[in-house]
Amino acid sequence: MTFAKTLSVEPMLWLDAFLRLSTVTLLLLSATLALRDKRCWRPAIFVVLTAFGTVGMLIATAPEALRPPMPIYVVASLSETGSIVFAWWFGLAIFRDDFELKWPHWAILVIFVSITLPRSYAQITGDFIYPGYLLVLFYVLALCLMGHLIFTITREGRDDLVATRRLYRAYFVAGVVASVTFSILTENVWNPFYQGQLTFIKPLVVFPLALWFTLWLTRIDLDNMAFEPDPSEIAEGGSAIDPRDGLLLENLRAAMEKDKIYRETGMTIRRLAEHLETPEHRLRALINQGLGYRNFSAFLNTYRINAVKADLQDPEKSRIPVLTLAMDVGYNSLAPFNRAFREIEGMTPTAYRQNLKDRRG
């Protein structure tokens, strides 16, 4: 039966074809826009990976009447194997300023590819039955990744100073929950019951997300898309600060530099706002738009690390353990302190102290 005759017999394929082809087009457009601006937008490469992985998924799961020629189908099936991991990477890159791919991220990609490659082989050849236990393992790991992503986005949202990014966290979490839920229900509950006639649901879920993201990319300037403050608005001395916040800025500096409130363990922006007797949203705006910090931890770490550096430079404190110095400025343990110190100074506090000793002879 020809493609046209099949569509005339099964009208639902028209809807499936429209949604699937439209979504593929939007995803490829998003990938092209991200590649165009990859130099000024850090998560661009993750947009490209997620787009191509999702395109592969849409092609590989298409009804037989909509499947492309075998070479394209094979490439799509293979590119689909890492789509869940690519989406996980993308979410972390968008909402975490310090995100970098490390060996655990690559290890999880290898695990997912190892699990999904047999399924791709089964789809391509048709003479291999994909083991049920691998399918269960795939869904368990996928849910774990999406759960981790939602937890990370939600947890770090409390520390985020960028108002637009805080808002988009909620949208992103809702999109993840909706897409994963509908995907699982479609493939494991509804589709078997309706004998595979609901294949259009998956592109139906992805289509609005792809459309929204494409409109986001095309309507918003890349500097805003990256949630970066405009450098021209943050001149030396904080000229972007609203004149009405002048007193708040003085109180903030007094609290940090004189009262050294940053030394309190577990300091949060809410506690700092209560200490300054000012609304939390006003303090967030001041630190972000006026002082140029993207999250509260970066602002807090600046004062804490500077205090530790002063202690490390003091010969009289040369025998005090690094852990003690870290806890004196508010850190609960050595690991977050070492990470923050390395991000600012490019070396560990122990190496920093040794360099000072070497310079003194």
Per-residue pLDDT at 18 = 87
- Provide the CB-side half-sphere exposure for 292 (13 A, CA): 12
Task: Give the lowest-confidence range in 129-138, 235-244, 249-258.
Answer: 235-244
| Model pLDDT, residue 260 | 92
The CA-atom distances, in angstroms, between 242 and each of 133, 230, 290 are 59, 15, 8
What is the number of alpha carbons within 13 Å of residue 26 lying toward its C-beta?
A: 22
Q: Per-residue confidence at 206, pLDDT binned at 50, 70, 90? A: confident
pLDDT at 236: 44
Evaluate if residue 160 carries a pLDDT over 60.
yes
Alpha carbons 89 and 50: distance in angstroms, whole number:
8
Report the pLDDT averaged over residues 240-259: 83
11-39 confidence digits (pLDDT tens): 677 888 888 899 999 999 989 988 887 76
Residue 347, C-beta contacts closer than 8 angstroms, at least 6 positions apart: 341, 355
Q: What is the mean pLDDT of residues 86-93?
A: 89
CA gap 105, 187 in Å, rounded:
27
CA distance 278 to 248: 8
Q: What is the pTM of this model?
A: 0.72
Tokens standing for residue 317: 């404190």
Whether the per-residue pLDDT at 110 is higher than 90: the answer is: yes
